[in-house]
Structure 1
């Protein structure tokens, strides 16, 4: 028998073996034999293969080509593709957060385009999602538009000032500090009660501007400090009306000079006592310095004298 005949016989035997093996293996496990079948049958085989393999399911190129071959046969009214691959950019995605129960299994390939630098895919998808919302959903909020009615200004004389650094921690000293300011003329106190209020306020009261200023940051939240300041002011007003401190003068030592043209404080002449000034007892260093200067001057002049 010639060599060509032997080769043809071996080829026929190999084809028979492949045919017998394909008969022994179920059709849903042979994606290379799906091409040419109806679309509904291909998708049924695909679902069977995916359900039977479970976590070990790994899509292949033969399965992808078989699914893509059914696109032209689908017409309007039939169910859309629930599983498709992109022909271009078919990349393999390696996950670094694979659970321990999935380690060692074949790597799954995805149709998601993975870039090597720049934003990661999930961040890119998030930005695209927000862009769609701003383009298609946010304009629909116009039907909920309502006219803005500014609230009427309150007639309370108290002014509370809050401050924030726009940080997440609201309990630091800067964010929890609240400042209370109130004009004494707006509290409705008579002359006696105003005098008592100034005595009780101490250095928290500005005599020039007639404004009481008090701040607090002893509590962890700004609302607690604001409540403490208001309660303290109410107690001061209550004691100012009930007490009598007319015999106590108002202390203004905490006040600083607020005007540039204000005269400087002068030291009384009667307080000056030069006779009590300390006397310098040790002047030997100054004498030595003077002697050295005289010697050097004499030596310098002697060089130029005739």
Structure 2
């Protein structure tokens, strides 16, 4: 505990107890009329709690005129060792440093400065290329060591009997990193009009309602869907849409007989016939005469002569 004695008209004077023998000699050199908290050079060696108490009192007394000096900084920094928990010294530091030195000297010059190898795969910070390389190596290992183990699950293939439904559902598979892309969830439905057992009026109404989804060349109806996140949902949507279209085409309350078929969407699929010119129009005698043909003939002859001369030496 620090006893404090106050005098009239003077700030409080702090006197350190004589039980601190390490600071007794330093306090004897301080004039008795000068407070201790105004002499930072005398704080060296005091306990940490006393140093911080004197530092607080000095800041409070000086107020806006407070300016830290080197003696005060040195005294505060000297208390760090007392505040930090004492840690035992490492007796094997030399061994670790010696091992690092040996490991560093064993690294080739062209590989120094790179991150240490933690496995048999070298990892470098070069963007996406190392990750793609490791993925290819992983797939190669799987195909070499794991895929042959699937032979024990081999079964003979027996094709399923042909379904009675005329609908044909086609699923798409894209073997990329992202299995939930738009290609894997895409489903297409196709059906031939002749397999629906519709009469002429029903076929006409079906074609009108189908619009550009009906191919008049192959006489088939096709619809695709990829709006839903799962392929089963898209297949269900295609089947429901076709069912509604088929039921509506069988309803002849309004047979749409007054509506003509719109085949404008078939223009890109229809091949234009090649023009056939009469034989009488072919007059080769009226064709323009090629100019400077003699020069071209001389160039070709020279090329042939040089090629023959070159091949004569290398031909057995």
User: The TM-score by the shorter chain falls in which range?
Assistant: 0.3 to 0.5
Give TM-score, length-normalised by structure 1. Answer: 0.39
